[in-house]
Amino acid sequence: MRQVLTGNEVAALGAKLARVNVIAAYPITPQTAVVEKLAEFVADGELDAEFMKVESEHSALSACIGASAVGARAFTATSSQGLMLMSEMLFIAAGLRLPIVVANANRALSAPLNIWCDQQDSLAVRDSGCVQIYCEDNQEVLDSIIQAYRVAEELLLPVMVCYDGFILSHTAEPVEVPEQAEVDKFLPPYKHPHPLDPDKPVTMGPMGVPEYYEEFRCMLQQAMCAAEEKLVGVDREFGKRFGRRYGLLERYRSDDADVLLLTAGSLSSSAKELIDRYRKRGERVGLVKIRAYRPFPAEELVEALGHAKAVAVLEKDISLGWAGALFTDVSAAFVNVKKAPLIMDFICGLGGRDVSQLQIREALRAAARAAETGEVRRPVHWLGLREKIVGLGV
């Protein structure tokens, strides 16, 4: 059934269709409507779940951990400062191998305080061991939450579904809402292999002494790497049943491009428009969108980007003191590859700053210049700064 829904509404709807039975989430702008909507579903008896009125994000994910460990399907949602407060437990949820789904409305990080969109929050926790998916539009958010439980429960890993704060969370778009019966066929009930159960006692979360800790982390890494194949398989099955597929990456008019943009999230849509305009003029430009960021699809990216002369990474984050996360990871993917494009980093859209077509054009032009000259003098650029900061040469 077709409905017009915001990103927050579809996040809640996705959890409802996935038949989550424990929800523990703390409100934070711009995610609040997710929590409110789920409270309404439960209050009306539309969703048979325990709605926990947790007192912080740290407790929210802690409660999800407890619930998931006994075999309940748990869900939480957060953003920005809430994600930071929750972050201790993200690493722990991954280490405990619990299949919790976390919806994250991407928002900038303090200080200074900022409630608007960028991707700093989720990228700051990329090391956690949670699978990370970045969505371009609300349809993708809805579908990804449903897919996320399959991936999470089959691998025993937490999965984070990210969508841009305000840009997606508060924007209503037409979405195709799958029927509950169809979702039920796609997503069977959750069965933890050894839940907390007095009939079969287990100890979860022991002290991992030096003689064993490294092996545990290696096993977690193996599970994360296996997530790549799992994501592809689940997505393929989803596509067969619901007619929509996403993959790990999307290649948009990229196969014969000399210059490529690399994006994640809703910015991909805006950037695609510019690509179309340039293509009309006969310019060989294209775009690659990253959907699965963790596990990092290094091989696929090298394949998708390798033939280009230059790649302009557009990203809404910065690892202060160096460069953006996406740029860093993509560069590492090419480090030992003989035929590699020049790669440039464009930091943009921080704290909800609008990323205009003019800014994207600036990035494309700079990459085209690099492609021509074969040289990148400065790898990291900032787009759309209000004024030049004297002396810093940013």
Partner 1 sequence: MTAALPGIPEEEFVAPGHRACAGCGCILAMRYVLKALGKNIIVSMATGCMEVVTTPYPETSWRVPWIHSAFENAAATASGVSAGLKAMGKKGVKSVAIAGDGGTADIGLQALSGMVERGDNVLFICYDNEAYQNTGIQRSGATPFGAWTTTTPIGKVKRGEDRPKKDIPAIIAAHGAPYVATASVAYPLDFIKKLQKAAAIEGPTYIHVHAPCTPGWRIENNKTIEVSRLAVLTGAWVLYEIEDGKFKLTFKPPKRRPVAEYLKLQGRFRHLTDEEIAEIQRMVDEQCRRFGIE
Binding site for partner 1 (CB under 8 A): 21-22, 24, 48-50, 52-56, 58-60, 62-72, 74, 88-89, 92, 96, 196-198, 200-209, 212
CB 219 to partner 1: min, Å: 13
* Cβ atoms 143, 238 nearer than 8 A: yes
In the complex with partner 1, the residue whose CB is nearer, 75 or 238, is 75
- What sign does the CA torsion over 102, 106, 110, 114 have? negative
Task: Write the DSSP string, 127-151.
Answer: TSS-EEEE-SSHHHHHHHHHHHHHH
Residues 299, 81: Cα–Cα separation, whole Å: 33
Residue 173 beta carbon to partner 1: minimum distance, rounded to whole angstroms: 31
Torsion over CA: 372, 376, 380, 382 (sign): negative
CA distances from 36 to 8, 31, 73, 333 (A): 10, 9, 19, 41
Considering the complex, state which of residue 189 and residue 233 has its C-beta at the smaller distance from partner 1: 189
- Choose between 103 and 313: whose C-beta lies nearer to partner 1: 103
Instruction: Give, in order, the Cα–Cα distances in Å from 355 to each of 118, 133, 208, 394.
Output: 11, 21, 46, 18
Please say which residue, 93 or 148, places its beta carbon nearer to partner 1.
Answer: 93
Q: How many residues does the chain have?
A: 394
User: Closer to partner 1 at the Cβ: 92 or 380?
Assistant: 92
Which of 196/298 has CB closer to partner 1?
A: 196
Beta pairing class for 292-294 and 131-134? antiparallel
Task: Identify whether the C-beta of residue 261 lies closer than 8 Å to the C-beta of residue 285.
Answer: yes
Give the Cα separation of 251 and 247 in Å (integer): 10
Q: How far is the CB of 8 from partner 1 (least distance, A)?
A: 23
Is there a contact between 311 and 341 (Cβ–Cβ < 8 Å)? yes
* Minimum separation from the CB atom of position 260 to partner 1 (A): 42
Give yes or no for a contact between 26 and 60, defined as CB atoms under 8 angstroms apart: yes
Q: Which is nearer to partner 1, 21 or 331 (CB)?
A: 21
